[in-house]
Every structure is written in structure tokens, then in C-alpha cells.
Amino acid sequence: MKPEYKKKPIRSYVIRAGRMTDGQKNAFDQWWSVYGLSLFDGEINPAEIFAQEAPLVVEVGFGMGESLFAMAKAEPDKNFIGIEVHPPGVGRLISLAGIEGLTNLKVYMADAVDVMSDCIPASSTDRFQLFFPDPWHKKKHNKRRIVQPTFVEQVRKILKPDGHFHMATDWQEYADYAIEVMTLAAGYTNTAEAYCFAERPMYRPNTKFEARGERLGHGVWDIVFAKV
């Protein structure tokens, strides 16, 4: 399977050419019909696709899926939608979910901007998660960062009133940039004090990647804003 997306001039990601394991390939055959959603099916009804009325969490860029799997397993009273363009990570996540028998998780392998525009209903999402996005740290690549005024406005549209935008990054310069963008964005308020970072919420797992960075002295910054 290939990621679904519309044509656009600037993307916040590059499709990596990493090989999938046999297990990840088999996961698509076995589990995609259970967990997979298509961009081209249009707007969803979360209560219908999950067969339960529950708070909705949307995560963009879940990588190999371990933390999203852990959150969905830990919070069965919430519905989770993950959006990722890299097939190995999608295969890994749906394999974990299928083996565990999770019923509160769905996945798009598609461009997040397209999914949010065409598939996620307005004012439907309780929590939006963006954990460790590519910082595009070279100045000439800053325009590729997913956190842009137009993007956070798109997130605001799918959030419910008082719904939360939660970003985490291990690049301080990106953290400073993102909190500036969020502070200037209309319709949001910082859940911490103005221009302050948040404590890591208990629901966000401390990943192996993050733990390794902490051992090396790297910081991690959480940014949590509420829609007003």
C-alpha cells in the first residue's frame, strides 16, 4: 500500500524508502481492513466507525506507533485516530493493535492536512497530538515545518470547544518557534502561563527515544493549548 495524498507544492515530510519487515507487510493483509481508513472515503462519523460515543483523540505522525498503541490501550474509554505516511510504522501499529484486540483505534496512511480537511468533522476532536515532528532545523527548510499558522487554524477547526492541542519536541528552537505560533494564533489559550511550556501530561508515554535523549542531556518541551 502507498500513502494517500493530494498534490501540493510543500510537504512537512519526506517519504522514507525504508524496507518493511515481513511482519509489517503481513499486518496490512491481516489487519488493514479492521483498522484502516481511506482519505478518499470523505468525512467520517466517529461514533459509527468506532461503534461507541467517546472522546476523540487525533494524532499526526505517530512514527512506529508504540506510544499511540500504549495510549489507546491505556484509555479504552477514548477513540484514537492515528495519521502517518510511513508504511513500516503503520504496519507496526496495526499489528500491535490487532494482536491486542484494540477496538478504539483507527489509522489513516495519508497526508495529515488532507485528512483533517476532508475526513475529520469540525468540532469533533477532544485532543490533538503532535509528538516529535520533524524540526526541519535548517533555516532554508523552516517552511516545511508542519506547525504553521494555517495548520494550527486547521487544528482549531476540528477541536471541540476547550479541546487541547498538544505538541512535544526535543528541539528547543522548534519549541520556541511553536509556542510563538500558538501564542499568536487566534482562538487558543496556553494551559500553562503565557509563553510557558507545560509539564508532560501523564497520558503521554515516555518513549525509548525520549528516555535515551534524557540520558544524553537532551530536553523535551511540551506545549498544550486549549481552544477557546
Residue 206 makes CB contacts below 8 A (sequence gap 6+) with: 200
Whole-structure pTM value = 0.91
Give the model confidence (pLDDT) of 38-76 as tens digits. 999 999 999 999 999 999 999 999 999 999 999 999 999
Query: Coil, strand or helix: which one is 145?
Result: coil
> 484486540: which residue's cell?
101
CATH assignment, 22-227: 3.40.50.150
170 a catalytic residue: no
Which listed residue (114, 118, 126, 134) is catalytic? 134
- The C-alpha R_g of the chain, in whole angstroms, comes to 17
pLDDT digits (tens, 9 = 90+) for 126-177: 999 999 999 866 666 568 799 999 999 999 999 999 999 999 998 999 999 9
Instruction: Tell me: pLDDT of 7 over 70.
Output: no
Over the range 145-157, which residues count as b (16 or more CB within 10 Å of their CB) and which as e? bbbbeebbebbbb
Q: For residues 43 and 81, what is the distance between their CA atoms, to the nearest angstrom?
A: 13
Calculate the alpha carbon distances from 48 to 25, 52, 104, 109, 122 in Å: 28, 7, 12, 20, 16
